[in-house]
Chain A
Amino acid sequence: NAGVTQTPKFQVLKTGQSMTLQCAQDMNHEYMSWYRQDPGMGLRLIHYSVGAGITDQGEVPNGYNVSRSTTEDFPLRLLSAAPSQTSVYFCASSYGTSDYNEQFFGPGTRLTVL
């Protein structure tokens, strides 16, 4: 199994541009989520999904959209990038509520918005 994969690894955007961060998992996990991590800080939840077709907001959802059309994929869209969105983005997945604490994280996408 490849686990959780994320693309791209690095990305530089200009203010106002849009882009999609890709996340995929091959473990048949129902639960997937997106976090951002700013320097010296812990992870903050952006959006999460409890299954295909179901998404919900986390702690810092503004400026981001998600969709979950398949179990495997959970893309994160930045509609109009802002410098405040410069961060490292992590995607994670887990089996379900009973095992939610064991999340499997991807390698991250380092995003810089100029």
Chain B
Amino acid sequence: LAKTTQPISMDSYEGQEVNITCSHNNIATNDYITWYQQFPSQGPRFIIQGYKTKVTNEVASLFIPADRKSSTLSLPRVSLSDTAVYYCLVGDGGYNKLIFGAGTRLAVHP
């Protein structure tokens, strides 16, 4: 199983760009990288998924280097409402392989 390592917490200010890096040294060839967001008292919500290079959607960008041993979630111009826990997951399918770690607690300040 590919283990992931993320910072426990990060702080930012409104309007700044936030980059959260996830390490996954043991990623397998078939593994995808997925990020979820969780607000207090809510279930996690899918943000973005990628396999290699760069993926962008209306919420975030995901940067994956060629060796795929890490990935970076980029949140442009954060607001207070982006305060949440962000989880990095690595897997190739099958619920018994999907592991949510402790995530990164992002606090956005005014």
Chain A positions within 8 Å of B, measured between CB atoms, are 4, 31, 33, 35, 40-45, 48, 56-59, 90, 92, 97-98, 100-108
Number of A-B contacts (CB under 8 A): 61
> When A and B form their complex, which 4 residue pairs have the shortest distance between CB atoms, in order from nearest?
A105-B43, A42-B100, A48-B95, A43-B100
Q: How many Å from the CB of A34 to the closest CB on chain B?
A: 10
The closest CB in chain A to the CB of B101 belongs to A42
- Counting chain B CB atoms within 10 Å of each CB, which of A41, A58, A101 scores highest? A101
Report yes or no: B43 in contact with A58, Cβ–Cβ below 8 A. Answer: no
Q: Which residues of B contact A (CB under 8 A)?
A: 32, 34, 41-46, 49, 87, 89, 91, 93-96, 98-103
For B43, the chain A residues whose CB sits under 8 A away are 4, 90, 92, 105-108
Q: Does more than half of chain B's interface fall in helix, strand or loop, or is it mixed?
A: loop
- In the complex, A110→B57 CA distance in Å? 32
* Chain A residue at smallest Cβ distance from B33: A101
- Could you name 12 residue pairs across A and B whose Cβ atoms are closer than 8 Å? A35-B100, A42-B87, A43-B100, A45-B95, A56-B96, A59-B99, A101-B91, A101-B98, A102-B34, A102-B46, A107-B43, A108-B42
Contact flag A58-B96 (CB < 8 Å), given A108-B41, A108-B43? yes
Indicate whether A40 sits within 8 Å of B102 (C-beta atoms), given known contacts A58-B96, A90-B43, A101-B46. Answer: yes
In the complex, A90 Cα to B44 Cα: how many Å?
9
- In the bound complex, residues from chain B placing their C-beta under 8 Å from that of A40 are 102
Q: A100-B91, A100-B98, A105-B45 are in contact. List 18 more A-B contacts (CB 8 A).
A: A42-B100, A42-B102, A42-B103, A43-B44, A43-B100, A44-B100, A56-B95, A56-B96, A58-B95, A90-B44, A97-B93, A101-B32, A101-B34, A101-B46, A102-B46, A105-B42, A105-B43, A105-B44
